[in-house]
Each structure stands twice: as C-alpha cells, then as structure tokens.
Structure 1
C-alpha cells in the first residue's frame, strides 16, 4: 500500500456510523485499528483516515457538530451520477446539488460535474468528475 503525500485524518463521534456512510459511497477500508477506533479508507486513489474522538485526540478547539467548518474535501470519481443517486437514496444531507462548474485556471477553463454532501459529523465531501478543459 502506498500512502498519498497528503492524507486527511478526520475525528468522528461514532466510527461505526461514519464507516457505514463512507462504505455506502464505495470507500474501501484498507486497514483498521479497532482498539483505537481508527480506519484508513480509500476511494479511487483518494485516501482518508477516520478516528473516533477520545481523550487522546489532538484537539485545538471545541468539538461540536458540524465538524470541519471552513473546509471541504474534493474527491475525484469515475461516475458522479451514480454517487449522487446513492446519496439521494440513502437520504444523505446534500449540501449542494449536482451541477457543472467551470473554473479559471491560468489561460483556460477546467470543467467539473460536482456535488457536496455532508458526512454524519458535518464534514463537507465534494465529489467531482472532470469534464475537460476549454479556452477562455
């Protein structure tokens, strides 16, 4: 197993509830440390660590829902429509519905089809599928 250069670790209130959420969105558990209530997940090359809050957690402030205020995690996927349907079928909290967005990058536009969903602890997950590039 190769670690990405950046792997976010998210504190969660209930590891089992979070694992159920991410499992429904096709994340795979690469390994777990059950005694620490920790899991290392992967989805299409993106990696994420989850750990249940404990007295040993590295905290710099209050822990109240929603966690992760001011951040979203963008994850590239192969089938955005399928993940969006799964999110709707499971009544996941959709923060921003599926849509196309074109971003300025230097002298061209980069397109994405994307949506944002909140996980059980309020973290924003932005799934996207690339639409390609076009001139400005």
Structure 2
C-alpha cells in the first residue's frame, strides 16, 4: 500500500471545497465538472462539479457529489455523514481552534488527552467528524 485518500460523499462540491479552503486552508488540486470535460482546479460559478481533490500539506481529501458516488460504486449508503472520524495532526491545535471556532460546529473543544495530545472535534457541513490534534 502506498497511500490513503478518503473519498467523502458530499451534498455540494463548491460549498464543501469553500468550507475546507476557508476554515482549514486546503487548496484545490483538481475539480471534475458534471460533464467530465473540465479538470481545471479553479472553481467556475457557471459549472456544476461532481468531484474534487483538495490538499493541505500531506493531507488529501477527495470530495464526491453524493449522486455521482452512487453512480460509481452503487447505492450502498442512504445518507452521508459520520461513518468514520478523520483524525488530522496539525502543528498547533489551539491556534487552529481559535481560527475556526466561530465558523464550524464544535463537538468537543480543545482538551488534553491521557496520551499526551491536545485535541478538538468538529462536525463538518456534510456531517463528517474531524478530529484535530497536536502534542500537548
């Protein structure tokens, strides 16, 4: 195995990309429009998108519009949301928390774990649980 890239089913690609860009500094690596003709990493308002690859440092996420995912792999799920928790290590969890706390749904504010980490958990706009961590 070489890498792991979660592919998250989302309601709206543009909205989800903007959420991750604005709150966590992700950058678009690739976008795929609904006609599968345009792979330019620049969002165009007139286009509808079915897939995006976003990246921040060594963390990559694939975002796929829910109906497009069902077409690709079948109707194995009824709803999108937290069936997994994404655990993301960052340099300074407290600074990130201060930056995003007013713009995201906080599930658990910053706390220190028994295993020497500081963490906080959020629910993103599609219902996925993201945990952020750095050394205490």
Could you say which TM-score interval applies, normalised by the shorter chain? 0.7 to 0.9
For 1:99, the equivalent position in structure 2 comes to: 111
Which residue of structure 1 lines up, in the alignment, with residue 38 of structure 2? none
- Between the aligned partners of 1:18 and 1:28, the Cα distance in structure 2 is 12
CA contact (8 A) 1:44 1:76 kept: no
Q: Which of residues 86, 95, 117 is equivalent to 1:73?
A: 86
The CA RMSD over aligned residues, in Å, is: 1.7
Higher strand share goes to which structure? 1
Do residues 119 (structure 1) and 128 (structure 2) align?
Answer: no
Matched, 1:63 2:79: yes
Q: Quick one: distance in 1 between partners of 2:89 and 2:57?
A: 7
Secondary structure of the residue aligned to 1:81 is helix
Query: Counterparts of 1:89 and 1:63 in 2: how far apart (Å)?
Result: 26
Residue in 1 that maps onto 2:29: 30
- Residue in structure 2 matched with residue 10 of structure 1 by the alignment: 8
The alignment's TM-score, normalised by the length of structure 1, stands at 0.77
For structure 1, the 5+ residue unaligned runs are: 104-110, 132-136
Inter-partner Cα distance in structure 1 for 2:110 and 2:57: 19
Runs of 4+ in structure 1 displaced over 4 angstroms?
none
Instruction: Provide the C-alpha distance between the structure 1 equivalents of 2:111 and 2:57, rounded to a whole number of angstroms.
Output: 21
Q: Give 3-state SS (helix, strand or coil) of 1:89's partner.
A: coil
Name the residue aligned to 1:89. Answer: 102
Q: When the two structures are superposed, what TM-score results if normalisation uses the length of structure 2?
A: 0.77
